[in-house]
Amino acid sequence: MLAADEIARAIAEFQEQTDKPVVAALEGGGVRGYYVAAPCRWIVANELTLTGSIGVIMQGYNYRGLLDKVGVRPQVFKSGRFKDMLRGTKSPEEVLPEEEQMVQALIEETFGRFKTVIAEGRAAADRRNDGRGRKLGEEWQQWADGRIFSGKQAFEAGFVDELGSLQTAVARAKVMANLANANLIRYQPPRGLADLLGLVGEAAEGRSIKLDLGVRWPPMDVGRPYFLYVPGMP
């Protein structure tokens, strides 16, 4: 939640300082992504996108019953009565009512922040879009109960502005930026060993693969012997 909040703040500040719109595209499973998308000036979602999940959850496991069955009893030393909050080895009698109240208060505080991001983000988008997008429905908080809903339902409730794909979002960004053509840059996660093995498999099928390892060797003449010195090796 913290990372999503930082990204949401950055998007809101960028739009406020530059007056440049940010367009979000929700595809596949956009459940966790709606927190980030909410401050954007325009949100596009595929009809079958799974989004929403507006809520906060904290959970853990209490395995004290299992320890009692095998004859293991925890021994805890702590500096304060609440230092071992949410400890999984507590018996039900050891869980203080104040602990449950404090944890629930944290949940409600974070939940309130989530709803504020949505309300402020959609209100700001509505002002900047001059009514061309979707306005957040008056009863939108009824949807903020943790449920997951489709992109079509999100559109009907005013959580998103348009139904479509990534290409729809790109086309909308061009219109909002008043551009006929634009270079689309994609940021991809760095490839790992598993991805490299996949490329090797593609090469085995007859496809041409060019692999850049980022190592630059000096030009070498064919037929000459060369020695590679490795520091620390005899």
Check residue 189 and give its pLDDT: 75
Whether residue 234 is predicted with pLDDT greater than 80 in this model: the reply is no
Whether residue 200 is predicted with pLDDT greater than 70 in this model: the reply is no
Q: Between 132 and 1, name the one with better pLDDT.
A: 132
**Rounded to whole angstroms, how far apart are CA atoms 36 and 8?**
5
**189 is written with which tokens?**
């996660």
Cα angle value 53/104/58 (rounded, 5°): 50
Q: Between 208 and 141, name the one with better pLDDT.
A: 141
Q: Which residues contact 12 (CB under 8 A, 6 or more apart)?
A: 39, 120, 121, 124
Please state the pTM of the whole predicted model.
0.77
pLDDT in tens, 15-62: 999 999 999 999 887 667 899 999 999 999 999 999 999 999 999 999
Write down the domain spans for the chain. 2-55+100-177, 64-97
**Rounded to whole angstroms, how far apart are CA atoms 96 and 82?**
9
Whether residue 219 is predicted with pLDDT greater than 60 in this model: the reply is yes
Q: Is 61 helix (H, G, I), strand (E, B) or coil?
A: coil
CATH code of domain 2-55+100-177: 3.90.226.10
What letter does residue 99 receive in the DSSP assignment? H
> How many C-beta neighbours within 10 Å does residue 11 have?
19
Whether residue 13 is predicted with pLDDT greater than 90 in this model: the reply is yes
pLDDT band at 232 (very low <50, low <70, confident <90, very high): low
51, 45 Cβ separation under 8 angstroms: yes
**Rounded to whole angstroms, how far apart are CA atoms 136 and 131?**
11
Check residue 213 and give its pLDDT: 60
Classify residue 141 as left (phi > 0), alpha (psi -120 to 50) or beta.
alpha
Whether residue 205 is predicted with pLDDT greater than 70 in this model: the reply is no
**Tokens 């230092």 found at:** 83
**Rounded to whole angstroms, how far apart are CA atoms 211 and 74?**
54
Q: What is the 3-state secondary structure (H, E, C) of 167-195?
A: HHHHHHHHHHHCCCCCCCCCCCCCCCHHH
Q: What's the first-to-final CA gap in the chain, in angstroms?
A: 52
Q: Between 164 and 187, name the one with better pLDDT.
A: 164
